[in-house]
């Protein structure tokens, strides 16, 4: 430690000593009150623990040096009225703190008293979470709040995947506060309290039995019991007589039962054990320590000496630590130089003639400072760390989870606010990182009825009322559901429902409730809303699982796939004498013909100089061009190509011809057998972009979907009810007050098309959903029915039901290949034509390059011949050849010449040149010799 730090510590010590000396001597004793019920399960154990704690405090020289802790106990007799009177009497004795009360109900009343008198209240047993509110600033809970206990219960419920529980509780502040916390905790786990069975305080066995009987009529078999220790066992005695402790039930009991089991020898009687066998019990967790073991030994010794029949429970440990918390806080309070003074409240005076003695109640002047010292408490007691968080609750709340068997309670796990459920002790897990401390599990539990199978936790409610099954009554589509009375209900959806409900592992009586008058379709959203408002229990029929519906109800697994499709009228196209021209557009015919002529000309140019079949009189050559080009269409051309360029162009052209003829054949076949769409609607995009009216089925979600999702104005939508209305509207068409197309779910359209063959589905299905049964939110029956539907699907029964009701005649086909055939245009072939034209152009360029080169060679040889001739005639001919017109004519003449002739002339010319060269050489030699 540095010199500056040492100086600060010395300064603080001197200031504290100076304040203490200035404040005067410490008091010889300090009065502390205690409020609890002496003759109760918790009170008997806590009373002795408090006395032992006071003795230990007064015997410890390190605490309250020279000051004695004087305990003043008061018996509240489990009465709010008597507890209030005892609290007022206690306030007359100038106590600096009160340990207690034991009851949450009394805690609410007494907290108002201590708030006025500024006396801190430390309760070791009042667990109502609402006492932590800011309304009670002087209330300090030195035990674990039921807020955490109910989170432990919710974790157990979630661990076994239960969703609904029945809360059985005493109808007072303690019970109501606990059940409220339970509901909040379950909501975080997506579960709920489905029924609240409130037991009036001080009820006899008959009242308890009536409450349990009503609870047993509900569907949930998860019973959470939150009552008082002294009357709680009567709940299980009544439950045993009502056959509620048998297989299938789950009983989760808060820590009151653990206190009874630990404290009362009668609870270990085999008869009482048999009444609670199989229940899960929570008990406040206190870690093992040497101090705890010594206290237990000492408590038991004193209890035996006093001939006490009651045993020790966990609340006694919290009572013991509460005394030490007060002692340490008083010690810190006095060490800080504070004085214990009380002053009169002018508002508390005795009116004339009253005997209430209100003037004797005084305000503790140092109450605020004492409260702050208590909230700063930090030590390790019998219950572990005694320290408060910012909300005034003890840190590290934890519970043991017990399972009562034939030989008593056994530990099956723990719960803590740090790690949740675990088989490891919380104090071990607190030493690990939070992300490594979660072993979310419990040991095996033996349930009521000596069963080791995890109960389902739910049965169909045994309240004598059958399941109210709402069905839509429609004027059409009776294949799906029909029947105006409960006894005449039938259809595909009904058969699926009946088959699924037979697979449930429990009997479910049901009664059909027809909805609608049969003349027009009822609102499907309205029927689902009746389920949500509890007018119906389930809606069965052709109910699509859509977003708006899932907000109101719980749907089962889909039993049939569905989705919106478009149906439109079609017409057969009659053949005509000019039908063979329809496969191609006029532009396509023109370009194709032009390309035929072009290829014929190109091949003629490439073959004309070398191939005798492409020579002859001009008339014959023109005929050859057209004959060759058009005969390639049937691969029947007689002319053979000899040049490499000609063959290359012909190969490409034959490929083009193959594509053209194949496309023409396919298109002509389609046109001759096609069914054309009467309105030109080919799919969703074309329907939306048009302004044509659209039909939809009344009562279904289709209208809202078209308006909201596809932005189709309502003025374009026409509501229809029956199959006959569908056919009539499509037949009349938009011009005669009908519709261009109808949008509906595919199962309806399949039924419609099975009756009418002159309509077809166009385009693709553009939504994906299914049909399911709508149950009330969080209904466990929905999950069981989903499982049953999956069983039907896996066994093939679901498909057989479908095949039985959905007949599909030959006219109803999903094949759309024969709908809406169109003429082929340039858009489908321009790439192919472009390639062919470029190949032809390339071949022509290469051909003319070759011709020009040959012509140059040929011209040079002629010039050489003519240069040897004299005279003006020869010079004139050369001049004319160099002129443009003469040159072009010579080139045309050269191109028209057979390549064989050119070769012969070139060969003869080269031979003449050799002879002349030889003659000239001889002449030169003779001259030289002469």
**Helices assigned H by DSSP within 470-585:** 492-502, 524-532, 547-550
Q: How far apart are CA 468 and CA 462, in angstroms?
A: 14
Domain boundaries, the chain: 26-142+289-387, 146-288+397-430, 467-561+771-806, 579-672, 676-768
| Cα–Cα distance, 705 to 387 (Å, whole number) | 59
SS3 (DSSP) at 637: coil
Contact of 207 with 136, CB cutoff 8 Å: no
Least confident of 257-266, 533-542, 605-614, 735-744: 605-614
- CATH number 3.40.190.10 is the correct assignment for the domain at 467-561+771-806: yes
pLDDT score recorded for residue 758: 82
Which neighbouring-strand residues pair with 225?
A: 168, 253
> Quick check: helix, strand or coil at residue 751?
helix
State the pLDDT confidence band at 572, using cuts at 50, 70 and 90.
low
Give the mean model confidence (pLDDT) for residues 169-188.
94
Q: What is the pLDDT of residues 487-512, one digit of tens each?
A: 899 999 999 999 999 998 878 889 99
Average pLDDT of the chain is 82
CA dihedral 474, 477, 483, 486 (to 10 degrees): -80
Residue 690 above 70 pLDDT? Answer: yes
366-378 pLDDT, tens per residue? 999 999 999 999 9
146-288+397-430: CATH class: alpha beta
Q: What does residue 578 show for φ and ψ, rounded to 5 degrees? A: -105, 25
Residue-level pLDDT at 814: 44
CB atoms within 10 A of CB 613: 14
pLDDT in tens, 241-300: 999 999 999 999 999 999 999 887 766 677 778 889 999 999 999 999 999 999 999 999
Q: pLDDT value at position 661?
A: 78
661 vs 3, higher pLDDT: 661
Q: Which residues pair with 296 in a beta bridge?
A: none
pLDDT of amino acid 154: 96
For the chain, the residue count is 930
Q: What are phi and psi of 477, to 5 degrees?
A: 55, 45
What is the pLDDT at residue 91?
87
Residue 123's beta-bridge partner residues? 141
Most confident segment among 75-79, 581-585, 825-829:
75-79
Span 781-793, mean pLDDT? 92
Q: Are 778 and 186 in contact (CB under 8 A)?
A: no
Which tokens sit at 588? 């396509």
Asked whether the predicted pLDDT for residue 17 surpasses 60, the reply is: no
Element (H, E) at 123: strand 121-123
How far lies 691's CA from each of 683, 687, 714, 727, in Å?
14, 8, 12, 20
Provide the percentage of residues in the chain whose pLDDT is more than 70. Answer: 77
Look up the pTM and report it: 0.67
Give the per-residue pLDDT at 789: 95
How is domain 676-768 classified at the architecture level of CATH? 3-Layer(aba) Sandwich (3.40)
Q: Out of 349-353, 387-391, 565-569, 926-930, which region has the weakest mean confidence (pLDDT)?
A: 926-930
112 or 660: which leads in pLDDT: 112
Which range (156-165, 254-263, 606-615) has the least confidence? Answer: 606-615
Instruction: Say what the pLDDT of residue 18 is.
Output: 46
Question: Which residues lie across from 447 on neighbouring strands?
Answer: 451
pLDDT of 446 reads 94
Phi, psi dihedral angles at 39 (to 5 degrees):
-95, 75
- Find residue 469's DSSP bridge partners: 512, 538
Is the fold of 26-142+289-387 the same as that of 146-288+397-430?
yes
What distance in Å separates the CA atoms of residue 298 and residue 153, rounded to the nearest whole number? 33
Contacts of 264 (CB under 8 A, 6+ apart): 41, 310, 311
pLDDT tens digits for range 730-752? 989 888 889 999 999 999 998 89
Quick: pLDDT tens for 213-240.
Answer: 999 988 889 999 999 988 889 999 999 9
pLDDT of residue 234: 92
Question: Before 101, cis peptide (omega within 30)?
Answer: yes
Residue 780 pLDDT exceeds 70:
yes
Token output for 263: 């404290």
**Beta pairing class for 564-572 and 741-745:** antiparallel
- 26-142+289-387: CATH topology: Rossmann fold (3.40.50)
Q: Which two tokens stand for residue 493?
A: 């959806």
Burial status of residue 665 (CB atoms within 10 A of its CB: 0-12, 13-18, 19 or more): exposed
Q: Report strand pairing: 342-344 vs 362-364.
A: antiparallel
pLDDT above 90 for 408? no
Answer whether 380's CB lies under 8 Å from 70's CB: no
pLDDT in tens, 98-145: 998 988 988 988 898 899 899 999 999 999 999 988 889 999 999 999
In the three-class reduction of DSSP (H, G, I as helix; E, B as strand; rest coil), residue 666 is classed as helix
Q: How confident is the model at residue 166 (pLDDT cuts 50, 70, 90)?
A: very high
């Amino acid at each position: 430690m540095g010199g500056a730090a040492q100086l600060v510590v010395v300064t603080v010590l001197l200031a504290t000593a100076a304040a203490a000396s200035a404040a005067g001597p410490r008091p010889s004793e300090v009065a502390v009150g205690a409020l609890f019920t002496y003759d109760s399960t918790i009170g008997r154990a806590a009373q002795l623990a408090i006395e032992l704690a006071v003795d230990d405090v007064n015997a410890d020289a390190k605490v309250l040096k020279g000051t004695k802790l004087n305990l003043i106990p008061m018996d509240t007799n489990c009465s709010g009225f008597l507890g209030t009177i005892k609290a007022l009497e206690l306030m007359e004795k100038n106590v600096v703190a009160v340990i207690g009360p034991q009851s949450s109900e009394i805690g609410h009343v007494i907290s108002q008293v201590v708030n006025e008198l500024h006396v801190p209240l430390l309760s070791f047993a009042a667990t109502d979470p609402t006492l932590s509110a800011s309304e009670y600033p002087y209330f300090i809970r030195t035990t674990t709040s039921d807020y955490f206990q109910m989170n432990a219960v919710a974790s157990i419920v979630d661990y076994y995947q239960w969703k609904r529980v029945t809360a059985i509780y005493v109808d007072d502040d303690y019970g109501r506060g606990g059940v409220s916390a339970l509901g909040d905790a379950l909501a975080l786990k997506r579960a709920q309290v489905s029924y609240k069975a409130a037991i009036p305080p001080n009820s006899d066995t008959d009242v308890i039995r009536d409450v349990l009987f009503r609870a047993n009529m509900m569907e949930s078999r998860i019973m959470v019991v939150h009552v008082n220790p002294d009357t709680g066992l009567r709940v299980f005695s009544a439950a045993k007589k009502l056959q509620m402790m048998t297989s299938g039930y789950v009983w989760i009991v808060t820590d009151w039962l653990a206190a009874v089991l630990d404290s009362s020898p009668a609870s270990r009687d085999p008869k009482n054990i048999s009444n609670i066998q199989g229940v899960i019990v929570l008990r406040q967790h206190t870690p093992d320590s040497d101090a705890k073991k010594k206290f237990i030994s000492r408590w038991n010794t004193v209890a035996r000496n006093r001939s006490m029949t009651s045993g020790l429970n966990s609340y006694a440990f919290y009572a013991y630590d509460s005394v030490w918390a007060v002692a340490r806080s008083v010690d810190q309070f006095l060490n800080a130089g504070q004085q214990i003074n009380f002053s009169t409240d002018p508002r508390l005076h005795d009116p004339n003639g009253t005997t209430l003695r209100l003037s004797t109640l005084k305000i503790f002047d140092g109450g605020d400072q004492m409260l702050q010292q208590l909230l700063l408490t930090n030590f390790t007691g019998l219950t572990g760390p005694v320290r408060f968080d910012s909300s005034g609750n003890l840190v590290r709340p934890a519970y043991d989870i017990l399972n009562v068997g034939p030989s008593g309670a056994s530990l099956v796990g723990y719960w803590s606010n740090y790690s949740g459920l675990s088989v490891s002790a919380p104090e071990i897990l607190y030493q690990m990182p939070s992300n490594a401390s979660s072993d979310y599990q419990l040991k095996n539990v033996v349930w009521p009825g000596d069963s080791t199978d995890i109960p389902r936790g739910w049965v169909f409610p045994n309240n004598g009322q059958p399941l109210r099954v709402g069905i839509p009554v429609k004027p059409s589509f009776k294949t799906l559901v029909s029947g105006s009375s409960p006894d005449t209900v039938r259809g595909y959806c009904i058969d699926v429902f009946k088959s699924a409900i037979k697979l449930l592992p429990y009997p479910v009586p049901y009664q059909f409730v027809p909805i609608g008058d049969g003349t027009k379709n009822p609102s499907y959203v309205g029927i689902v809303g009746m389920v949500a408002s509890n007018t119906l229990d389930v809606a069965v029929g052709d109910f699509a699982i859509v977003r708006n519906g899932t907000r109101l109800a719980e749907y089962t697994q889909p039993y049939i796939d569905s989705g919106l499709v478009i149906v439109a009228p079609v017409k057969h196209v009659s053949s005509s004498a000019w039908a063979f021209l329809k496969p191609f557009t006029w532009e396509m015919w023109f370009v194709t013909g032009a390309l035929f002529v072009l290829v014929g000309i190109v091949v003629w140019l490439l073959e004309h100089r070398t191939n005798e079949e492409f020579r002859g009189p001009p008339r014959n050559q023109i005929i050859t061009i057209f004959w060759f080009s058009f005969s390639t269409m049937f691969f029947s051309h007689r002319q053979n190509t000899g040049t490499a360029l000609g063959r290359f162009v012909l190969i490409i052209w034959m490929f083009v011809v193959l594509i053209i003829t194949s496309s023409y054949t396919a298109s002509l076949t389609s046109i001759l057998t096609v069914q054309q769409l009467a309105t030109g609607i080919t799919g969703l995009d074309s329907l939306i972009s048009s302004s044509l009216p659209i039909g939809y089925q009344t009562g279904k979600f289709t209208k809202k979907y078209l308006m909201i999702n596809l932005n189709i104005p309502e003025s374009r939508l026409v509501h229809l009810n029956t199959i006959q209305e569908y056919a009539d509207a499509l037949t009349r068409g938009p011009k005669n007050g009908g519709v261009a197309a109808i949008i509906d779910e595919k199962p309806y359209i399949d039924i419609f098309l099975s009756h009418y063959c002159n309509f077809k589905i166009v385009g693709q299905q553009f939504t994906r959903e299914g049909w399911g049964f709508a149950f009330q939110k969080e209904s466990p029956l929905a999950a069981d029915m989903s499982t049953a539907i999956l069983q039907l699907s896996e066994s093939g029964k679901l498909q057989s039901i479908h095949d039985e009701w959905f007949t599909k005649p030959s006219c109803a086909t999903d094949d759309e290949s024969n709908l809406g055939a169109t003429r082929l245009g340039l858009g489908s072939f321009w790439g192919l034509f472009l390639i062919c034209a470029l190949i032809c152009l390339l071949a022509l360029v290469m051909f003319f390059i070759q011709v020009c080169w040959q012509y140059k060679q040929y011209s040079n040889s002629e010039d050489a011949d003519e240069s040897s001739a004299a005279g003006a005639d020869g010079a004139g001919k050369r001049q004319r050849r160099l002129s443009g017109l003469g040159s072009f004519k010579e080139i045309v003449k050269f191109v028209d010449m057979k390549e064989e002739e050119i070769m012969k002339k070139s060969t003869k010319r080269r031979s003449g040149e050799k002879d002349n060269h030889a003659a000239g050489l001889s002449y030169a030699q003779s001259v030289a010799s002469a």
